[in-house]
Structures are given as structure tokens and as C-alpha cells.
Amino acid sequence: MSVNRTRARRRLQAFRITVFTVLGLFFLVPLASMAAYSIRVPGGGRTLDYWKQLGQDPDLRSAIITSLELAFLTVVLMLVLLVPTMIWVRLRVRSMSRVVEFLCLLPLTIPAIVLVVGLKGVYAWVAYFFGDTSLTLTFAYVVLVLPYAYRAIDAGLASIDVVTLSEAARSLGAGWFTVIARIIVPNIGAALLSAAFISVALVLGEFTLASLLNYTNLQVVINLLGKSDSQTSVAASLASLVFAFVILILLSFVGRRRTARRATIDIAPAPQPSTKEG
């Protein structure tokens, strides 16, 4: 019996080592290849020229700025739209909570490519009212990040007693605006931060909507660059990837700190299809 046990355990150990090694290689080799490719000189030798190119190429530079602006605007608009709504639902119109949740998670099931087809008509009007600038992509991006932001904020609100807090504040004479802005929002800081992080990561990687609505963002320019200067484009990809990785890793730390306080909160990016830029 115990000989069997030891043998079983050894077999399990061998299985685990094999899986981790093989899959580890599968995931690391493309990343390492990108790094090697971006510093390689055709014919031999290494250079950082392609990386220096990143800061100098005017198209790339303005695209980076556009994408950062888009990320910022998306986060602001998302917070302004979602936070008061979600708090209001919890406080005053509980009966609507399922409807709001359904609408927030809906973009997960509608592929971005389908959304683009429908958005073409809407964006004719958006361009009419706001001008034909890439920054108008913000409106569509808020929809894309909605499910992730909703999950993060919902987890944050679940971890505090919204109703009691607001009743206490109300009984002391606070108005609704004070309740939302000065009582509840400061209490869900970590949740708002993780909602913002995931939104930034998604916006910086977004390609589908921008390219098909004929706007320019970082990924669109990187993709164009790939046709003329593949090494600079790979360097740019790697840079944007590392940036997104750092943001998502920061996110997992914010999540862990919160999970430590309340064991039941699930902060891992939602296991659902199609919002990711696949």
C-alpha cells in the first residue's frame, strides 16, 4: 500500500514537472523571441536602434499619446457613468440590480467585430457632434471595459455595508451627493483602482474598433509599422506588452490586498470570452 503511495506520488511529481516545463517553454519562447528579434542586426550583432526609434518615430509617438489619452478618458467616463449608477441601484432601486448587471455583462457576449458593424452608423453621428477625432473612441471603449469594471466595482461594494453607511450619513444630514462622493467612494478605493487598471490595459491593447472605424491608436500604428519596419514594430509591441503586463500585475496586487481582507472576493480578470482583444 505505502509502496504504491510513494510510486503514485513520484509519478505525480514527474507529471507536474513535465507540464510546467513544456507549457512554460511554450509561453516563454515567443516572448523571448520578441526580445531577441527587436535587438537583432540582420547578418549578426545586436543593436538598440530599433528601441531608440520608438521615441523618435513621429507617428508612433503621437499614437502612444493618443492611446494614453484614450485610456485616461475611458477611465474617467467609465467611473462617472458606472459608480453613481451602481451605488444608486444599491441604495434606492434594488429592483433594477439584475437589469443593470445584465446590461453591464452584455458586451462579453457580443464580439467586438459585431459591435463595430453596428457602431458604424452611431459613429456617423458621433463624428457629426464631436468632430472626427480618434478620442471619440472613448465612447465605445467604455462599453468594452464595462463588464470588467462592473465586476471590480461590484466586488468592492459587496465588501462594505453601503446601506448602513448611507443611512448613518443621511441621518446626520448628508445629501445624496455627499453620501456617494465622500462616504462610499473613499471606502471602495481599491476596487476603483482595479477597475481603472483593467480598463487601461484593455484600451492600450485595443485594435478591432479603432482600425475598423478608421481611427488611429497605438495598435493600429504598430500594425501599420509591421509592414514597413518589422523590427521596430516588434520592439513597440514588446514595449506595449510589458506596459500592459506591469499594469495587470499591479492589478493582481491590488486584488490580493483586498482578498486578504475579505476572503470571498474574486478579482481575477473575469473568465468570460470576447472582450479581450483576441
Residues 38-97 that bind another protein (CB under 8 A): 38, 40, 42, 81-82, 84-85, 88-89, 92-93, 96
Helix (H, G, I), strand (E, B) or coil at 40: strand
CB of 193 to another protein, least distance (A): 16
Q: Contacts with another protein in 212-241 (CB under 8 A)?
A: 212, 219, 222-223, 226-227, 230, 233-234, 237-238, 240-241
Shortest separation between residue 94's beta carbon and another protein, angstroms: 10
Instruction: Give min distance, CB of 111 to another protein, in A.
Output: 3
Among candidate residues 237, 194, 208, the one with its CA nearest the CA of residue 141 = 208
Q: Which stretch in 55-63, 152-160, 164-172, 270-278 sits in contact with another protein by CB under 8 A? A: 270-278
3-state secondary structure of 158: helix
Shortest Cβ 233–another protein spacing (Å): 6
By the rule CB under 8 A, 259 interacts with another protein:
no
Grid look-up 501599420 returns 224
Q: Return the C-alpha torsion angle 44, 48, 54, 57, nearest 10.
A: -70
CB nearer to another protein: pick between 182 and 253: 253
Provide the 8-state DSSP code for 96: G
User: Contact 158/261 with Cβ under 8 angstroms?
Assistant: no
Closest of 27, 29, 62, 42 to residue 230, by C-alpha: 42
Nearest distance from residue 161's CB to another protein, in Å? Answer: 20
- Which residues does residue 47 pair with via DSSP β-bridges, in sequence order? none
Identify the H or E element spanning 28. helix 2-38
Q: Could you tell me the smallest distance in angstroms from the CB atom of residue 273 to another protein?
A: 4
Binds another protein by CB under 8 A, chosen from 63, 183, 201, 203? 201
Stretch that binds another protein, among 49-57, 68-76, 181-189, 206-214 (CB under 8 A): 206-214
User: For another protein, which is the closer residue by CB, 27 or 58?
Assistant: 27
- How many residues does this entry show for the chain? 278
Q: Which of 62, 178, 187, 252 binds another protein (CB under 8 A)?
A: 252
Q: For residue 22, what are the CA distances in angstroms to 77, 165, 272?
A: 43, 51, 26
144 contacts 209 by C-beta, under 8 angstroms: yes
Scan residues 97-126 and list those touching another protein (CB under 8 A).
100, 103, 106-107, 109-122
Nearest CB to another protein, comparing residues 158 and 239 = 239
Q: Does 174 bind another protein (CB under 8 A)?
A: no
Q: What is the full DSSP assignment across 50-96?
A: HHHHHHH-HHHHHHHHHHHHHHHHHHHHHHHHHHHHHHHHHHT-GGG
